[in-house]
Chain A
């Protein structure tokens, strides 16, 4: 099964299904179709509005003045804009130091995740060797082992190695390939025609050359997807920093934001939400920059059945 090459090219997966041309459709068919479209837009519009409402509300609070934010009953929109929240808020938790910490942890983790999953995925799907199916089954199977099993033993291991209260425990696992990313990479590799590497092999190229020269460029959507997803995972990680970090100057943003909330206890929510907006921005910007590749990379999961 592993040797079969999927007939669907990865790029085709994400392409939306072409709509049937509207010409020559009888009126009796056209009216219900228009109605169904209107209903569709209404439904999507309402859903989108309710999904965006909490975010709009957050931005509104981030802009409120100290008086507005504690007004009873609360008003949805601010009476006056207090842009200084975006300066005073971050100052409460040394935001920019935490931002730098989080950036370092996140970027290094994302790099590790991309490198390890692409290399392992290549080995599993493009090199023919005995045992590879077994190892793939074991790696994919470890997806189902709850992460919590590792928490206490690994914490103890890191204590013994003197690595507690450093960023190593947060970064290290990414370099050993997470099962879900390896799975994603393998799915994508499977959809690439075999003749590409076979002709390169005949020309005398080794696997490493094929990997770096041929595969890395073609698999751009999938490694960008892995990069985004691992960036998000590391950026959002709360439990691991909570368990592994102790000194405040090493905290990552999720820890800082959680402590912000318990320290200032409600009165300064305009500061908090302003900081929250800044905290959300980096993954958001990254997502929009790489959205096209992301949708394509995720699309390779659609070929899971092949």
Chain B
């Protein structure tokens, strides 16, 4: 099946793309044809995946967002009802949007700055640097659920390590996840603790910066900060941009942290949109399945992510030479 679909795509495209093909020597055009077929064969898994896991769900979910659907009986078309209910009636929708934006606005810059700082710190050829790199990366290797359940206990007001440390430092203890003002920052601390993934990608970028450039700047009398801003930052621009977009995407879809640590509480202080969607669509599945409504929420989240991503790309256009875009 794989072969057939790839051929079917490859044939007309190959002909369309090479209208002058007939004028080429027969052997070359035969090779070109073979390469086209082979090329599409090689990338066919990704093309099928694109349609199956991206295009198909997008199209069907857009349709379902305009329906009343419980997942069991056929969906009925309700037009914009879901969206109207979301924007005007659902009491938890706007607070959820607000806390999601707050979370993104805080967590993305903090993660990027922390990851980049750590990468700069360990981008040195000193003894033991590999040990530090490994230690800083370690939390990323550990399963998210293992890490989050560990942190849930760390934040336990009575038995947890967090208050133990505060007591040790003679500081006032906190309610942590039980305190509406502290819960979101507490989730962020866990994110910063596992910032090694961001660090390692920045480190890869930093190591690709030609050493001669930095040496030349040094000879010209540029300080460390100046050469970082003038040379290193522009050089790692594309990686920075990629990180920014991925982090934004991830932050808008934060789920595990909320599901394990706070269940959206206390109150609605950590009820991120993604967790609300899960609750509306899946968790209340048996009691009141609202898949149509949840799908509409998914689309709102999707549009938010797309708009923010495009804005980000537009704002940074020209500042970074994004090579990854081909």
Residues of A whose CB lies within 8 Å of any CB of B are 1-2, 8, 13-19, 37, 40-41, 43-44, 47-48, 51-55, 57-58, 61, 69-70, 72-74, 76, 116, 119-120, 122-124, 127-133, 135-140, 142-154, 156-157, 159, 173, 175-177, 179, 182-183, 206-207, 232, 235-236, 238-239, 242-243, 253-254, 257-258, 261, 266, 269, 272-273, 276, 279-280, 283-284, 287, 291, 295, 298-306
Contact = CB atoms under 8 A, between A and B. Distances in A.
Contacts, number: 296
Contacts of A133: 326
Listed residue (A116, A128, A142, A151) with the most chain B CB atoms within 10 angstroms of its CB: A151
B311 interface: no
Contacts of B249: 144, 146
A122 to B, nearest CB: 6
A295 B130 CA distance: 10
Given A1-B326, A129-B14, A305-B321, A152 B139 contact: no
Contact of B193 (A54, A130, A176): A54
Given A16-B207, A48-B136, A150-B53, 5 more contacts: A17-B207, A128-B35, A130-B13, A149-B298, A207-B35
Residues of A contacting B: mostly:
helix
B134 to A, nearest CB: 7
A51 B242 CA distance: 26
Interface of B: 10, 13-14, 16-18, 32, 35-36, 38-43, 45-50, 52-54, 56-58, 60-61, 64, 71, 118, 121-126, 128-129, 131-136, 138-146, 149-154, 156, 158-159, 161, 164-165, 167, 193, 200-201, 203-208, 211, 235-239, 242, 245-246, 249, 252-253, 255-256, 259-260, 274, 277-278, 281-282, 291, 294-295, 298-299, 301-302, 305-306, 309, 321, 323-326
A235 to B, nearest CB: 6
A132 B305 CA distance: 27
B207 A131 contact: no
Residues of B contacting A: mostly:
helix
B43 A135 contact: yes
A191 to B, nearest CB: 10
B323 A151 contact: no
A149 B62 CA distance: 9
Given A153-B56, A177-B45, A239-B255, A304 B324 contact: yes
Contact of B277 (A43, A132, A148, A269): A148
Contacts of B253: 146-148
Contact of A149 (B41, B61, B136, B152): B61
Contacts of A243: 282
A40 B256 contact: no
A175 to B, nearest CB: 7
A130 B40 CA distance: 10
A287 B138 CA distance: 9
A295 B259 CA distance: 32
Contacts of A149: 54, 57-58, 61, 298-299, 302
A113 to B, nearest CB: 11
A284 B53 CA distance: 30
A131 B13 contact: yes
Given A130-B14, A152-B64, A280 B326 contact: no
A159 B70 CA distance: 13
A253 to B, nearest CB: 7
Contact of A153 (B43, B48, B61, B165): B61
Nearest to B144: A236
B122 A44 contact: yes
Nearest to A207: B38
B201 A298 contact: yes
Nearest to A156: B71
Contacts of B46: 116, 120, 135, 139, 176-177, 179, 182
A146 B125 CA distance: 38
A116 B128 CA distance: 37
Contact of B132 (A14, A48, A69, A283): A48
B143 A148 contact: no
Contact of B45 (A72, A176, A236): A176
Contact of B149 (A232, A258, A291): A258
Given A254-B145, A258-B145, A150 B17 contact: no
Contacts of A144: 245, 249, 305-306, 309
Given A144-B245, A238-B144, A305-B237, A136 B14 contact: no
B53 A57 contact: no
Contact of A146 (B161, B164, B207, B305): B305
A72 B146 contact: no
Given A52-B135, A283-B142, A58 B324 contact: no
A138 B50 contact: yes
B43 A291 contact: no
Given A130-B13, A284-B141, A305-B235, A173 B302 contact: no
22 contacts: A8-B208, A16-B207, A17-B123, A17-B207, A48-B131, A53-B165, A69-B159, A74-B158, A119-B42, A119-B45, A123-B40, A130-B16, A137-B326, A149-B57, A153-B57, A153-B64, A235-B143, A239-B256, A239-B278, A253-B143, A261-B152, A269-B159
Contacts of B42: 119-120, 122-124, 127, 207
Contact of A176 (B48, B56, B305): B48
Contacts of B156: 266
Nearest to B142: A280
Contacts of B35: 127-129, 207
Contacts of A232: 140-141, 143
